[in-house]
Amino acid sequence: MILDVKQLSHSYGDKEALNNLNFSIKDNSIVSVLGPSGCGKTTLIRIIAGLEHIQSGEIFLDKLLVANKSLNLPPEQRPISYVFQDFALFPHMTVFENISFAAGSKANKKQLIEQVIHLAKVNNFLDKYPHSLSGGEQQRVALARSIAVQPKLLLLDEPFSDLDINLKREIIDDTLHLINSLESSAIVVTHNAEEAMFLSDTIIVMNKGIIVQIGTPHEIYFNPTNLYVASLFGETNIFQSKVIDHSCITPLGRIKVKNLPNNQNVDVVIRPEAIKLNLEKSPLLNPNSGIVVDSKFLGNSAIIHMTVNDEKNNKHHIHSKVMGNFLPPQASSVSVTLDEDHIFIFPR
Ligand code: ATP
């Protein structure tokens, strides 16, 4: 294990930022810490880095205890490096000097710098100073510099958040290659679930200072442990219902329920992609049908806004995500079938 975090809690005054975190990170892996603003992501990274004094719990890096109540190894003595949102490049040094400084006096320094420059694609602006670089270029230099330290663990705190979408994809892709080719491990902080899925082997989902779920992107997406995790991947349709006869009624029809007792109140999460639509010639008189309010073309996919009536004739506004070439006109009738892989039922 490159990192073990044990019983880590942290408060600012009487504000609890982290509550009893426990997790490990395997060698050569990329882990995302995913959660909303204020859930404690940066606090966690700063404690692992040694920038924030630990209050309770233990941190082991490469099996070596680096922090507990009576020990706090300074950042420069830990086998880590970090990139924060503001990059923090040395303003008085050129790009080359920034990278060279980070490489220190390593025996293989020349070769290492050449490799890092090549991998981070910073060849074209080696003589420039940070203030004359674009955001994307500064990002690359910050990554190059953090890699030149040859860390066992790289900590990236929302490093991509200021970049435009195309540049972001390109730099995320290059960062992945960089980390993999140097056989480092990395923790990437993000509040974007898609970014977390794309980047990492494992996702740690946090909310309000606690770890809500740890798993592979596939596990988190298809087996979310609660309503919060299920709602992380874009918008959802959520209905309140009750288990009766191993199923529950929703405005989109009856859904089978496993492992929950009769009379249990539940929240039913139906992802837009669970709702498959079929154009009908005339309105259908059953709950598994709707009237289209609007169809929004998004390229590969389309979002269909529609209303459905429940059993008591109350109207519900529903979003369905379908293939981009299916764009039913306003006021048309559609029948609904549901893909249970994208439906989650939680006790309420
Ligand atoms: P963001 O995504 O907005 O950066 P985060 O998930 O990284 O948020 P933290 O920055 O770790 O969250 O903050 C966790 C909680 O601790 C928040 O409620 C925050 O207001 C509080 N907090 C963080 N730093 C301090 C500080 N130095 N003093 C007091 N409270 C703090």
The whole-angstrom separation of Cα 75 and Cα 119 is: 25
* Residue 291 near residue 332, CB atoms below 8 Å: yes
Atom of ligand 1 nearest to the CA of 206: 6
In total, the chain counts a number of residues equal to: 348
Predicted confidence band at 87 (pLDDT cuts at 50, 70, 90)?
low
Share of the chain above pLDDT 90, in %: 69
CA of 338 relative to ligand 1 center, distance in Å: 40
Identify the DSSP state of 340.
Answer: G
Q: For helices 135-148 and 165-181, what crossing angle results, to 10°?
A: 10
Which tens digit of pLDDT belongs to each residue from 266-286? 999 999 999 999 999 877 666
Specify the 3-state DSSP secondary structure of 272: helix
The whole-angstrom separation of Cα 234 and Cα 223 is: 16
Which tens digit of pLDDT belongs to each residue from 61-77? 999 999 999 999 999 89
Q: Whose CA is nearest to atom 19 of ligand 1?
A: 38
This prediction has a pTM of 0.89
Per mean pLDDT, which range of 48-57, 105-114, 200-209, 226-235 is the poorest? 105-114
Segments in the chain forming alpha helices (H): 41-49, 95-103, 109-120, 135-148, 165-181, 193-199, 217-222, 227-230
CA of 11 relative to ligand 1 center, distance in Å: 10
Return the closest-CA partner of residue 112 out of 158, 80, 169, 151.
151
pLDDT tops 90 at residue 324: yes
pLDDT tops 90 at residue 202: yes
Maximum Cα–Cα distance for the chain, whole Å?
A: 77
Give, in order, the Cα–Cα distances in Å from 10 to each of 42, 56, 81, 113, 189.
12, 7, 22, 38, 18
The whole-angstrom separation of Cα 141 and Cα 207 is: 32
Decide whether any atom of ligand 1 lies within 6 Å of the 37 Cβ: yes
Query: Ligand 1 test: best mutation among 41, 82, 211, most atoms within 8 Å of CB?
Result: 41
The whole-angstrom separation of Cα 235 and Cα 268 is: 13
CA of 15 relative to ligand 1 center, distance in Å: 10
pLDDT at 285: 65
Return the closest-CA partner of residue 137 out of 81, 190, 87, 205.
87
Decide whether any atom of ligand 1 lies within 6 Å of the 12 Cβ: yes
Return the closest-CA partner of residue 45 out of 151, 154, 191, 203.
154
CA of 248 relative to ligand 1 center, distance in Å: 40
pLDDT at 81: 87
Predicted confidence band at 343 (pLDDT cuts at 50, 70, 90)?
very high
Mean pLDDT of 116-144: 90
Q: Whose CA is nearest to atom 11 of ligand 1?
A: 40
Mean pLDDT computed over every residue of the chain: 91
Domains and CATH numbers, the chain: 3-230 (3.40.50.300), 237-347 (2.40.50.140)
Return the closest-CA partner of residue 103 out of 85, 84, 119, 81.
81
Decide whether any atom of ligand 1 lies within 6 Å of the 207 Cβ: no
pLDDT tops 80 at residue 126: yes
pLDDT tops 90 at residue 14: yes
Task: Enumerate the β-bridge partners of residue 271.
Answer: none
Mean pLDDT of 149-169: 82
Identify the DSSP state of 286.
Answer: S
